[in-house]
Amino acid sequence: MRRKRLVSLAAIAVLVLGLGACGGDDGGGTKEGDGEVTIFSLWGGSEEEAFKKVLTQFTQDTGIKTKYEAARDFLPVIRTRLNAGNPPEVGILPRPGFVDELARDDALISLEDLGLDVDKINENYGETWTDLATFEDTTYGVVAKANSKSTVWYKPNSFQQNGFQIPKTWDELNQIVKDYKSKGDVPWAVGAQGRDNSWTLTDWFEQIYVRTAGGDNYDKLFSGELAFNDPTVKEALGEMLKNVNDQYVLGGIDTALSISFQDGIARVFGTTPKAEMYMLGGFVGGIALGANPSLKPGTDIDFFPFPTIKEENGDPLVGSGDVAAAFVNNEDAAKLIEYLSTPAAGKIWVSTGAIVSPNKGVTEADYPNELVNKEAEQVKNAESFRFDGSDLLPGTLGQDFGTLLQKIIKTPGQMDSLLDDYQAEAEKAFS
């Protein structure tokens, strides 16, 4: 009796599955919007406020209302909503790697399909930036914001007191670290807890690797042509471990792995500081000032560019950016994407001091404070530019790279086997 029931249930199951499988996507043509566009990203705090200013102006200009949503688990939410047929109209993808993946599965609407003039939009950006939003020669989005990541944050008054000069080379920086330590100060704070903060370690690695192994190797490494257990990788890791270790990091590796990057920043620039320097991207300034508004840029907080390590590899800039792309093909989404690509939007955005705009139409005059201005200068004048490597990796490889580094700083002795394992995973992902 039961068996018969099971068999008939199974038959129904196959039927139902078959029915379920044919829920097609909306076919061609840009539809009319409903007067409101939903935008989804993982920004909160000051980034969110800055972005909302842009959205407000958009509404004023076009009359289209906006609804902003954010979640820390960007991918799971996007996936569930895609699966439920309920995606946000526009999403700000934190990694260009996502553009490839989502475009490959037809989840994104290309700029052309949205009815936009692709060439005109791409005029606003340099090629490096438009490449990020492109998959197989079709452009799917616009680079919404950018950040330099080749910045080391420090306290100028502390440097002055100790007689330190801004280090131009890696050796000089390492000397400052030793000097801080011998004076009883803690040179670094690191916040790399869990899945949400492991990317900060990838930033460390990338800055070092591009300077020790060179730009070409960097490109090869993050496109799968060079193995992750290559000696150049181990060399860069060695240099990284010279600083990210129990001796020089606040609370040791254990604490580094239990606090978020915002906490780490607070431990250097907060009201009860416990460490001296923080290695992370240009957005640290905004976060630090948010946590401790009494900081004076230039005296209490500033950054210097990441120093050179091997002279022949010079001073490349490693940066990152977010891509705004449309999930739904309607006019509201198209207009928003178009608006975000304009210099006008860029100007509003940077006036908040939160971001650097890759938009060619945005000039120095638009930046409100010296820190962001300095960062924008750095981006503009970079002798060579590389995009954040882990953000370029496909699938979950980028996230896993962060996890790999967490394990390496915790158990450096196992570096070789950990790299071998990761390389095996990478080979699969790139194939």
Partner 1 sequence: MATAEVTVQRPARTVSERMVGFLTKSPVHLTLILVAFIWLVPTVGLAITSVRVPADITGSSWWSSLLDWRYTLNNYDTVLSRANMDRSFVNSLIITIPSTLLPLTIASLAAYAFSWIRFPFRDTIFLMIVALMVVPIQMALVPLLRLFRDMGIANNYGGIWLAHTGFGLPLGIFLLRNFFITLPRDLIEAARVDGASNLKIFLRVVLPLSVPALASYAIFQFLWVWNDLLMALVFVQNSDLWPMTIRINQIQSQFGIEWHLLSAGAFLLMAVPLIVFFALQRYFVQGLLAGSVK
Partner 2 sequence: MSSTAVPGPVGRPRGRRLPTFFARSSWQGFLFIAPAVVFLGLFVVWPLIYTITLSFADTNAKLKIVDWVGLDNYKTLFTDDKEFLDLDAFPPTGAFVNNLKWVVLYTTLSLGLGLLIAVLAARVRYESMIKAVVFIPMAISATAVAIIWKFVYDPDPDIGSLNALITLFGGEAKAWYGRADLVNYALIWAYVWASTGFAMVVLSAALKGISEEVIEAARTDGASEWDIFRRIQLPLLSLPISVVTVWLLINVIKVFDIIYVLTGGGPGGASEVIAFSMYDETFTNGEAGYGAAIAVVMLLLIIPIMAFNIRRFRSERVIT
Q: Which residues contribute to the site for partner 1 (CB under 8 A)?
A: 1, 20, 23, 44-45, 69-72, 76-77, 80-81, 83-86, 196, 259-263, 266, 270-272
Residue 14 interacting with partner 2 (CB under 8 A): yes
CB atoms inside a 10 Å sphere around CB 311? 9
- Give 153's strand partners: 278, 303
Residue 20 interacting with partner 2 (CB under 8 A): yes
Residue 395 interacting with partner 2 (CB under 8 A): yes
**Partner from partner 1, partner 2, none contacting 60, C-beta within 5 to 8 A by type:** none
Residue 396 interacting with partner 2 (CB under 8 A): yes
Q: Taking the complex as a whole, how short is the minimal distance between the CB of residue 72 and partner 1, in angstroms? A: 4
Q: How far is CA 275 from CA 137, 153, 154, 155, 192, in A?
A: 46, 11, 10, 10, 15
Q: Taking the complex as a whole, how short is the minimal distance between the CB of residue 13 and partner 1, in angstroms? A: 10
Q: Tell how strand 278-279 and strand 151-154 pair up.
A: antiparallel
Burial letters 15-32, b for 16+ CB under 10 A, else e? eeeeeeeeeeeeeeebee
Q: Which range, of 180-188, 336-344, 353-361, 393-401, touches partner 2 by CB under 8 A?
A: 393-401
- Total residues in contact with partner 2, by rule CB under 8 A: 43
173 sits in which H/E element:
helix 170-182
**Partner from partner 2, partner 1, none contacting 256, C-beta within 5 to 8 A by type:** partner 2
Q: Which range, of 12-20, 128-136, 341-349, 356-364, touches partner 2 by CB under 8 A?
A: 12-20
* Cα(311)–Cα(358) distance, integer angstroms: 28
Looking at beta carbons only, is 260 or 351 nearer to partner 2? 260
Q: Do 322 and 342 contact (CB within 8 A), yes or no? A: no
Q: Which of residues 337-366 bind partner 2 (CB under 8 A)?
A: none
Q: Taking the complex as a whole, how short is the minimal distance between the CB of residue 263 and partner 1, in angstroms? A: 5
* Cα(399)–Cα(101) distance, integer angstroms: 14
Q: Between vectors from CA 325 to CA 81 and to CA 320, what angle results, nearest 5°?
A: 110
CB atoms inside a 10 Å sphere around CB 384? 14
Q: Which of 38, 110, 193, 207 binds partner 2 (CB under 8 A)?
A: 193
**Partner from partner 2, partner 1, none contacting 270, C-beta within 5 to 8 A by type:** partner 1
Q: Percentages helix, strand, coil for the chain, rounded to the nearest 5?
A: 50, 15, 35
Residue 171 interacting with partner 2 (CB under 8 A): no
Contacts with partner 2 by CB under 8 A lie at 9-10, 13-14, 16-17, 20-21, 73, 75-76, 79-80, 82-83, 101-102, 104-107, 193-196, 198, 251-252, 254-259, 395-396, 399, 403-404, 406-407, 410, 421
